[in-house]
């Protein structure tokens, strides 16, 4: 029975819960058994809270806390994982940092509170790099998370634990966050679906960077309808977050079923000249046949962006100053070098450099506005390179170009972050070494409904979502292309 439950999609499981065919306790038992079998191989969910989960399940089954049961996104007792950057009341929450290795918060993050109000049951915290900074999921508290498609490889970061857990069937849904690609790259590396929503679509709670659109919270799942379901559970106005706005009148789940496919699709093999693995480009270009198969006109375009890397680094580093300056003063010896480097880059940059980055961001946004006058959807590769060695902080090189810092492997997704557009990563195939390759679908700002619908049409054409969940597979590290 547990194996059968793990095979269900989130939407199928929720239908069973709503109809009384499945109980939340049965799903928790199934998740617990799967976690016990899988965790020794991938280390995706290092902190479990099963007693708390079962207590929540019993309350729901007794009719308590069901005020939202008629609202879109009602999860009806479905187990979920929460990234270890978001507080869950009474559950160890470390942010991947030795500074907070023993931290147990008294109150939950605003989004966790919303998810639980919508009938989601938290069963585990998913692993993340320290403070979510990094393209590979490891930290000094819990160690490294491995990719279930090949355990010699990384699931990327920073929602690597969530992506690995969803791909291997430990949970049906995983919460994550995204700054430069932290929902999208792990989704690509693990052949699952991750959505970076528009800024303001989902609450970020009480972060210090409340007025910055760079970091967002969002959903991850095995397929697009499941992502839409979880987005409905997450979306809406939150008084703690000044950027949030009301959820749509028509739910995302309903929109996915009713919205027509895109008519004009643009494919860009890269953005701003960012290096992309050659085989990845070829696989993604070939995948455009699925859009053509649904009747869309596909045009390959070039998206030229001035000083993309410098622009993103300047704006990201300013956010690191806001978040990490005081921690560096108090705990520098406990913080990893990448965070120190990123923060000090922000402390050292001039006001003129930051102003220049803001002007270039405005120009990039205008570029995307113009593109969306011509196209319904923009598609790029989901990541600059496929999954790499789990023991590395970042790829050594991409398409023969050596990388000098960890953010250089995230520029495809970082560019879309700067555009303030929602972006959906979903599977499109595998390279010659069996590594997942994905697409990044980019929609108009606040256009998640049409974006999710396009993803659902693509997913139905490709059939790749049917391959999940998988049992973790041992493997070796492929050679680096171009070296």
Under 8 Å between Cβ of 41 and 146: yes
CA angle 411, 328, 156 (to 5 degrees): 30
CB distance 403 to 136 below 8 Å: no
Residue 173 near residue 193 (C-beta atoms within 8 A): no
DSSP string, 347-373: HHS-HHHHHHHHHHHHHHHHHHHHHHH
The structure tokens 């800024």 sit at: 199
**Interstrand relation of 423-430 and 193-196 (parallel, antiparallel or unpaired):** antiparallel
CB distance 459 to 426 below 8 Å: yes
Structure tokens given for 356 = 């220049």
Residues noted as catalytic: 83, 158, 182
Closest C-alpha among 444, 380, 477 to residue 184 = 380
Strands 78-83 and 120-126: parallel
Q: Across 237-276, where does the E strand assignment appear?
A: 264-267
**Residue written as token pair 């027509």:** 260
CB 3 within 8 A of CB 17: no
């Amino acid at each position: 029975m547990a194996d059968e439950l793990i095979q269900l999609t989130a939407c199928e499981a929720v239908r069973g819960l709503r109809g009384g065919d499945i109980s939340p306790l049965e799903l928790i038992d199934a998740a617990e058994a799967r976690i016990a079998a899988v965790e020794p191989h991938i280390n995706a969910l290092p902190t479990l809270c099963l007693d708390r989960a079962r207590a929540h399940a019993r309350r729901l089954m007794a009719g308590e806390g069901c005020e939202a049961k008629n609202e879109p996104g009602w999860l009806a007792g479905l187990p979920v994982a929460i990234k270890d950057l978001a507080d869950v009341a009474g559950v160890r929450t470390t942010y991947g940092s030795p500074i907070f290795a023993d931290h147990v918060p008294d109150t939950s993050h605003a989004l966790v509170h919303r998810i639980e109000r919508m009938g989601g049951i938290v069963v585990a915290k998913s692993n993340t790099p320290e403070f979510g900074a990094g393209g590979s999921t490891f930290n000094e508290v819990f160690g490294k998370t491995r990719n279930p498609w090949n355990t010699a490889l990384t699931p990327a970061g920073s929602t690597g634990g969530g992506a690995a857990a969803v791909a291997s069937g430990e949970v049906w849904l995983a919460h994550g966050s995204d700054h430069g690609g932290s929902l999208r790259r792990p989704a690509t590396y693990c052949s699952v679906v991750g959505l970076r929503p528009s800024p303001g679509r989902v609450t970020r709670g009480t972060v210090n960077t409340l007025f910055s659109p760079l970091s967002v919270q969002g959903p991850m799942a095995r397929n697009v309808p499941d992502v839409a379901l979880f987005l409905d559970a997450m979306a809406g106005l939150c008084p703690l977050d000044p950027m949030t706005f009301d959820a749509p009148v028509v739910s995302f789940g309903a929109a996915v079923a009713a919205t027509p496919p895109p008519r004009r699709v643009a494919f860009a093999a890269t953005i701003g000249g960012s290096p992309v693995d050659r085989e990845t480009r070829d696989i993604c270009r070939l995948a455009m046949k699925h859009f053509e198969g649904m009747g869309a006109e596909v045009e390959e375009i070039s998206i030229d962006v001035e000083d993309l890397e410098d622009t993103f680094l300047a704006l990201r580093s300013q956010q690191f100053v806001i978040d990490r300056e005081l921690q560096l003063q108090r705990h520098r010896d406990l913080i990893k070098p990448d965070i120190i480097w990123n923060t000090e880059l922000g402390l050292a940059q001039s006001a003129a450099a930051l102003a220049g980055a803001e002007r270039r961001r405005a120009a990039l946004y205008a570029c995307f506005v113009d593109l969306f006058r011509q196209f319904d959807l923009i598609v790029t590769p989901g990541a600059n390179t496929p999954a790499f060695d789990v023991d590395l902080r970042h790829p050594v090189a991409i398409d023969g170009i050596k990388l000098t810092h960890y953010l250089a492997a995230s520029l495809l997704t970082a560019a879309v972050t700067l555009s303030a557009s929602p972006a959906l990563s979903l599977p499109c195939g595998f390279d010659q070494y069996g590594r997942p390759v994905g697409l990044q679908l980019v929609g108009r700002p606040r256009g998640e409904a049409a974006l999710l619908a396009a993803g659902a049409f693509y997913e139905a054409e490709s059939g790749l979502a049917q391959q999940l969940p998988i049992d973790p597979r041992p493997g070796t590290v492929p050679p680096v292309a171009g070296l």
